[in-house]
Amino acid sequence: MKNLKIFLLSTILLLNFSNKSFSKDIPASFADLAEKLMPSVVNISTTTTITTQSNPFPFQFPPGSPFEDMFKEFGAPQERKSAALGSGFIIDEKGIVVTNNHVIQDAEDIIIRANGNKEFKAKVIGSDPLSDIAILQLDTKEKFIPVKFGDSDKARIGDWVIAIGNPFGLGGTVTSGIISARNRSIGLTRYEDYIQTDASINSGNSGGPLFDMNGDVIGINTAILGRSGSIGIGFSIPSNSAKLVINQLIEFGETKRGWLGVRIQDVSKEIADVEKLDKPRGALVASVAQNSPSEKGGVKAGDIILEFDGKKIEEMKQLPAIVAKTQVGKKVLVKIWRNKKEITKTIILGRLETSEDFKITKKDIPNKELVIEKLKISVKELSKDDIKARNLPNQTSGLVITKIQNDSPLFGSIEVNSIILEAQKKKILNVNGLNEAISQALKSNQKTILLVIYNNQNQRRYIGIKLD
């Protein structure tokens, strides 16, 4: 009985301690924090002139028709003013404001309410559509209360956050929640590493700050999931990603991002198996731009970038963000997996904003349709007409996939009309070349064959295909 009492007492004490340890971080109120921060959050309204031209008739009057002049006015351009709302926050006492690019894009007039609902005109210092960030300067000599940025890398899933903004024109609205997830990508911008939060974010919150419990900005509220309003899934640009862009926009009026000059894709398990890589990791180089830093540094299509400037690349999406943050002109070491071993290349970074598009040369191949029995697909050799119809460069070699059987190992991985360019890192000039690559893989007891294709968007892709 004595031992039982001791056990029960210990359990009660333990539970009491646990409850206290978990509850001590739960704020009793956000009032003091909100009162302190609200003067630094601004409401943004913009106006834009939209020109439309419409014809109320489902036909066109022929030239010289007596009706032409009579009804000409119905097709005349019409102009109307469009208004939009957003949020922002002050980062300098002189009235420098951070917001989203989409809040002020194409705006003719920008009016900001701050300092006790006073209205100020603002001009754009710089904007960046790739990150969806814009910097504004208020046209006034007044002083403002700025906020400071926090370290978004230290923000953890489950941490308390508050959002302040101008949803639906209701300025000074405060909402609270937690960080729901990190490193989210939703396909809105080129560089995405969003913080997900369940703090209520609605139309008009865009560009507003996401604060931690220290009152530091750890995110810029940018997007929500769902068109009808907040459903508890909002996304914010992390402060550590935003700060570099913000500083460049303030200093130069534009961004200066590092540029490698490669098109990349994920490393699948099948590709990792073929390349004898320990696990799927890194960024697979699908193609290399001509005269790019990567080409000059010796990077080749098929390389897997494992490390860039001392930073390991575990997922493909990490590389563009890391490269973009690296100083233009910097000499960096890049660790690459090639031919089943690790090598190192030295690359001098270029600037993304001044880079050129790919210039790939290709050649004509006569047209002919045949069956690849091992893959259970039908193909034809690329013709001049195919190249013209798909707006491809003048020279290419490969096979166009015309049919894919339901039991094909390519079914679900490759679309009809994709072009097979390489197999097992060898260029495919004809059907015999593809059959030979497959036969050699089977003879060497390889269970997977590596294909390089152009998809229907003419993007170069690596595909690992398991063979029976």
Instruction: Please give the Cα distance from 441 to 434 (Å, whole number).
Output: 11
Sequence-distant (6+) residues with CB within 8 A of 193 are 183, 184, 185, 237, 238, 241, 321
Two structure tokens written together for 25: 């971080």
Spell out the residues 6+ positions from residue 416 whose beta carbon is closer than 8 angstroms to its own: 401, 402, 403, 404
Look at the block and give the residue holding tokens 């960046």. 128
Give the relative orientation of helices 318-325 and 239-252 as an angle to the nearest 10 degrees.
40
**Any idea which residues carry the catalytic annotation?**
102, 132, 206
Three-class secondary structure of residue 260 per DSSP:
coil
Rounded Cα distance, 177 and 205, in Å: 15
Contacts of 336 (CB under 8 A, 6+ apart): 299, 303, 304, 305, 306, 342, 343, 344, 345
Q: Identity (one letter) of the amino acid at 331?
A: K
Cα gap 437→247, rounded to integer Å: 52
Q: Quick count: other Cβ atoms within 10 Å of Cβ 362?
A: 16
Residues 6+ positions from 62 with CB-CB distance below 8 Å: 68
